[in-house]
Amino acid sequence: ALPGVPKLRLHNPVFAGENGDEFMPRYEDAAAGRLDPFVLVIEGSIPHETNKSDGYWAGFGIDRNTGQPLTTCSWIDRLAPRAWAVGAAGTCATHGGIHAMGRNPTDCMGLPDYLGWSWRSTGDIPIVCVPGCPVQPDNMTQTLLYLLRQASGTAPMIPLDDALRPTFLFGPTVHEGCDRGGFYEQADFAAAHGSTKCIVKLGCWGPVVICNVPKRGWMNGIGGCPNVGGLCIGCTMPGFPDKFMCFMDEPPGARMSTSAVLMYGRTVRALRAFTKASLEKEPPWRNPAGAMSAESPAATQSDVKPDTTV
């Protein structure tokens, strides 16, 4: 259906009509080398399966020989070395996310920490990370579309930053694309939630978080956390969530930056108010000598004919 893109079959446990043993053969074929080429996309954080004496943290399918669950880590070990490309969807898969918080018993991690940040696929492609909690839908589908075009030879190597994020999606900060950015410049900060002004003093991390959601929106171009009053808590960043807590507290850097911009911003706001007031008035040449005043003949009722249609 998409020009320039090879024929695609999508195997996803949520979208599939099959379930259980009927669903697993696709993954078994891929692990055995009978499904080539394929792109492997991981969702969810990767648990540390060897940090305990028994049991498992996460499973996917059943080992037919033992009747025991197969761990998700074992599937990554079997599938990743054969994949043409490997992607991580969402902050849990890219950097560990909520499950990788300090002192979590699972010792969860992101896919680059599990496979290695310098790991490359059979297509000689690094791990492609699309963070977000949750991942922004258009960001994920655009990344997959790019990889498919690359597979067909119609696109160069996907450009990634140091955090393995596509550079065409992750570059500007939340603040640079925020609808409230003008209020920050004028030092016009919200004192309570529900305000339309800049919410950085209420706990928004937008000035330092790399994310395109304010520009792209969440669904069909609508939304974008701070645009609709939601604080940016840094969910696309490798340091999330530990380095952004406690949520809803003013970020340390915001105290300094807002203090620095306060005097300048208030001055600019006052000057703009003065200029705005002057621009609210028409130029004097549009009404020379009060030509349309009540005393002017042009404004007398005698000049208006009874059958005039307005």
First and final C-alpha spacing in the chain: 55
CA distances from 129 to 2, 51, 164, 267 (A): 23, 25, 5, 43
Tokens at 104, concatenated: 């979590």
Query: Do 140 and 89 form a contact (C-beta atoms < 8 A)?
Result: yes
| Model confidence pLDDT, tens digit, residues 183-218 | 888 888 899 999 999 999 999 999 999 999 999 998
What is the structure's pLDDT at 303?
A: 53
What is the structure's pLDDT at 121?
A: 98
What is the structure's pLDDT at 310?
A: 46
Three-state secondary-structure class, residue 70: strand
What is the spatial distance between Cα 96 and Cα 108, in angstroms, rounded to a whole number?
A: 6
Tokens at 198, concatenated: 């800049």
Query: Do 168 and 159 form a contact (C-beta atoms < 8 A)?
Result: yes
Q: Which residues of 173-194 are buried (b: 16+ CB within 10 A; e: fewer)?
A: bbbebbebbebbebbbbbeeee
Low-confidence residues in the chain, pLDDT < 70: 256-257, 259-260, 262, 288-310
**CB neighbours of residue 93 within 10 Å:** 26
What is the structure's pLDDT at 237?
A: 96
What is the structure's pLDDT at 275?
A: 86
Query: Do 100 and 244 form a contact (C-beta atoms < 8 A)?
Result: no
Measured on CA atoms in the order 60, 62, 67, 70, is the torsion positive or negative? negative
